[in-house]
Chain A
Amino acid sequence: MRGQIQFDEKRQKAIAQCSRCGFCRAVCPIFDLTKRPVTNARGKMILLKELMEGKLPATEAVAQAFLRCTTCMNCTLNCPSGVDPQEMVKQARKDFVRLGMDNLFRTMAETMAKYGNIYGEERRVDWGHKKGNASIVLFLGCVGTYREEESVKETLQLLDILKVDYTLIEEVCCSGVLEDVGYKIIEDLAEKNIREIKKTGAKTLITTCPYCYRVFKDHPAYQNLGLELKHITQFLKDFNFEVQTQKKVTYHDPCDLGRHAGIYEEPREIIRKIAPNFIEPLRTRENSMCCGAGGGFRGSFPKESVRIARNRLGQIIEETGADILLTECPSCLHNFRNARRQKQRIEIYNITEFIGKLYQEKDSFGKEPA
């Protein structure tokens, strides 16, 4: 017999708050794909209710059910009863780990502790840009660094063109994601990042990854950072760019940047400067559908995750007919690129990467006219 999950008063109240209206069916990316009630927020709130009432034993299968959530927060914003299901899901994941039901992220935590990144990569691309001292530190995050290197390269070039005084550092994983999948942030990694950042004497920390942004902003382990924090879209919104595209451009709000961090306007301000033909998808901003990558979901259910990205991409193409899809999150970018079918013409970039590319095209156009 395994132990029991504890339900304090606050949690009991939050569980009872779900009126089981089912409205969260309309917005859950996993339910949209599977049509299985256990995958949406109501399903999980009901599991919690029965765990709390002692009607449902805490088993491995139930623990697995709680891994099926991208923590996209779409249900939270659409819940008439004011429930925040993804917060409850994250808490439940911790409970199951505490009861001895480890999940596959235990290995990831070990990998992170050993290699300093989520993939267990031993080396990374050398982009240079390690000046040491600069007024700005640019933090790239694991997904960009190890899985979307080309995109990072363009972003760095853009910052050079804009003459931004920045430096990269010997960064390690912010490790915040562990808190979402049942474990705890790795304090050693956090301390190393803080040390490296402070060494540069920078006044501002800029992240390209919206998830890292959230961790630096909200996690107590980074409380003593003591410098201004900006997501790269916040930093670039006041710049002027000497490039434009006439193509039809659309934008996907990453859950971590939009619903989680409330940053909706800045990316749009930038896009409007470079793309007069900007068109919003039908489900956008607070209502943007998730790409299926977050909350450890891609790690646990890679096939379903890509299928969700495929659905979202199809939705965006149908709703906008755009030539270019922009976002500003390495995870969304990576998932969409994996999901894109050959016959789909749409090109997918991070905003900063795309602007970097436009500058390059402009340059090469100037040198050798076609």
Chain B
Amino acid sequence: MIPKQSLIEIVGSENFTDQLEELVPYSYDASMNVHRPDGAIWPESPEQVAKIVQLANEEKTPLIPRGAGTSLSGGVVPIQGGIIVDLSKMNRMIEISIENRYVRVQAGVVCDLLNRELAKYGFVFPPDPASSSVATIGGNVATNAGGIKGAKYGTTRDYVLGLQVVLPTGEVMHTGSYTMKCVSGYDLSRLFVGSEGTLGIVTEATLKINPLPRYAMTAVATFSRLEDAGNAIFQTMMSGILPSVMEIMDQVTLRSIKENTDIDLPDAEAMILTETDGFTWEEVEAQMEVILKIFKKNHPIEIKTAKGEKDRVNLWKARKSAYATLARVSNSFVLDDVTVPVSRIPELLIGIQGISKKYDIVIATFGHAGDGNLHPQILYDEYDPEQVERMEKAEAEIFHLAISLNGTLSGEHGIGLSKANYMSLEHDPVEMALMKKIKKTLDPNNIMNPGKRALDDRKESNERANSI
């Protein structure tokens, strides 16, 4: 373990803590995992980060890079103890270059604050995780965050031009370039995007930005049969139109919203919310017309459309309240992010309903139908061991189901601790071995966020929520 005094020499005593009451909040994220760190540190510059990492590497002390701690996978839970490196104070927007279409920001910049600044110029950093009011760019990069507009605008990966990274051995490295195109050398930025803090600490990112579309139109359709909704989705995706939003909510979600809010909803097996956007009304309307035609062919209960900001907000209400409503009706929940090819969405939804019945546990599913990324939210009580067991079994079966449909364990939240045990379901032994080799090459002493993603051979005794 690094001597405390050495860390204080780097950052000053006001930027280090080992006080119990401060370490307790650092033992958690938004998942059910928990473990105490030994300390936490708030570096204020890349040089400080480099010094901290050098020391940690010498002393073989685990370091856990942390942004806002909104990880849903246990990604920032220090399962082997060590020092939390909190990047919140490195929150400078270094350069906004509209003419060259990029921004250069420190890792601790909050996603929404960046976009508030960019909006002044009519630009946007498109990846929009639901946690964007607090999530940091470093966290977005490390988890390859995506969001509601993923189908049209992609995920963080599509916007990273270059990175400044402190490697696990303490050297500072710059990847990528400031240009829109670059094939110079291996694309090392990509290796770090989605690496969940296991390969180094991202201290700065150069990100591509887009002009903000000026107009958007919204439509909501409800369907009495899930199959019809599924057909409407993939027919839209085949139509040549790329909606900016294509969200689906299942019956359990809709019922919960209906019963617990004053939002009026028909009795439906599914609801789709969609949006088209563009730079002229004509463009936006023409796209929507195609989608509405497809919806109408698939036996909807009703369709509502909206153009004005106020009406659009109204149509968004149900979707926006989904997570909160479900969070309020149960003591505890896990929020997963399995993703399948778009045409397999109905199978995934029906399969999840079967799993829900089998384990007699409420699973509400909603998510980004346009890119096949669904969020089954499993409701249970963490203080009832029998319910915990059923939840875990149901979750495991959902993972198996997604993989059997050619899908993935995680579309955007990452593997972290929660899904580490399932890595071999998705990745063959050759790929797993190469991942471990890469990790070992970059991080010979396994100090960077150890214990995550099944990369070290040591088996973690991570007993959800009570492993201290």
A-side residues, CB < 8 A to B, are: 13, 16-17, 19-23, 25-26, 35-38, 42-43, 46-47, 50, 53, 55-56, 59, 61-62, 64-65, 80-82
**CB of B142, distance to nearest CB on chain A (Å):** 15
CB-CB nearest in chain B for A22: B70
Determine whether B97 belongs to the interface, using a CB cutoff of 8 Å to chain A.
no
Taking CB atoms, residues of chain B closer than 8 Å to A55 are 468
Q: Which residue of chain B is the closest to A27 with respect to CB atoms? A: B133
Judge whether A42 and B323 touch: CB under 8 Å. no
The docked-state distance in angstroms from the alpha carbon of A50 to that of B26 is 12
Residue in contact with A37 in the complex, picked from B69, B89, B327, CB distance below 8 Å: B69
Number of B residues, CB within 8 Å of A: 36
With both beta carbons as reference points, the residue of chain B lying nearest to A43 in the complex is identified as: B25
Residues on A with beta carbons closer than 8 Å to the beta carbon of B29 = 20, 22
Task: Say whether B21 contacts A81, CB under 8 Å.
Answer: no
Q: How far is the CB of A182 from chain B (nearest CB, A)?
A: 17
In this complex, what residue of B is CB-closest to A18? B327
The 8 Å CB contact of A23, one of B24, B26, B133, B383, is B133
Which of B21, B110, B131, B327 neighbours the largest number of chain A CB atoms within 10 Å of its CB? B21
Interface hits, B298-343 → A, CB 8 Å:
323-324, 327-328, 331-333
Chain B 225-243 near chain A by CB (<8 Å), digits 1 or 0: 0000000000000000000
Q: How far is the CA of A82 from the CA of B324 in the complex (A)?
A: 8
Q: Contact: B21 with A22, CB < 8 Å? A: no
A20 touching B331 in the complex, CB below 8 Å, given contacts A26-B110, A35-B88: no
From B134, B323, B328, contact of A25 by CB (8 A)? B134
Closest to B321 in A: A80
Question: Which 3 A-B pairs give the minimum distances between C-beta atoms?
Answer: A80-B324, A43-B25, A35-B88
Q: Interface on B for A, CB 8 Å cutoff?
A: 17, 19-22, 24-30, 42, 68-70, 86, 88-89, 110, 112, 131, 133-134, 323-324, 327-328, 331-333, 381-383, 466, 468
Interface contact B21-A37, CB-CB below 8 Å:
no
| A17: contacting residue among B22, B323, B328, CB under 8 A | B328
Tell me whether B22 and A19 are in contact (CB under 8 A).
no
Structural contact, A35 and B42, CB atoms closer than 8 A = yes
Which of B24, B86, B324, B331 is close to A35, meaning CB atoms less than 8 Å apart? B86
**In the assembly, what is the distance between CA of A22 and CA of B24, in Å?**
14
Contact of A19 among B20, B30, B88, B468 (CB under 8 A): B30
Least CB distance, A197 to chain B, in whole angstroms: 40
B165 to chain A, nearest CB (A): 22
Contacts of B112 in A (CB 8 A): 26
On whether the beta carbons of A47 and B131 are closer than 8 Å, the reply is no
Can you give 11 contacting A-B residue pairs, CB < 8 Å? A16-B383, A26-B112, A37-B25, A37-B69, A37-B86, A38-B21, A43-B24, A47-B25, A59-B20, A62-B21, A64-B21
Q: Closest residue to A25 on the B side, CB-wise?
A: B134
A21-B70, A35-B42, A42-B25 as given contacts; A26 in contact with B20, CB under 8 Å: no
Chain B residues, CB < 8 A from A61: 19-21
**A62 to B22 alpha-carbon distance, docked (Å):** 9
CA distance A61 to B20 in the complex (A): 8
**A81 pairs with B328, CB closer than 8 A:** yes
Chain B neighbourhood of A25, CB < 8 A: 68, 134
**Separation in Å of the A93 CB from the closest CB of chain B?**
14
Beyond contacts A21-B131, A46-B27, A82-B328: 4 other A-B pairs, Cβ-Cβ < 8 A, are A16-B383, A20-B28, A23-B133, A25-B68
Residues of A within 8 A of B19 (CB): 61
Query: How far is the CB of A76 from the nearest CB of chain B, in Å?
Result: 13
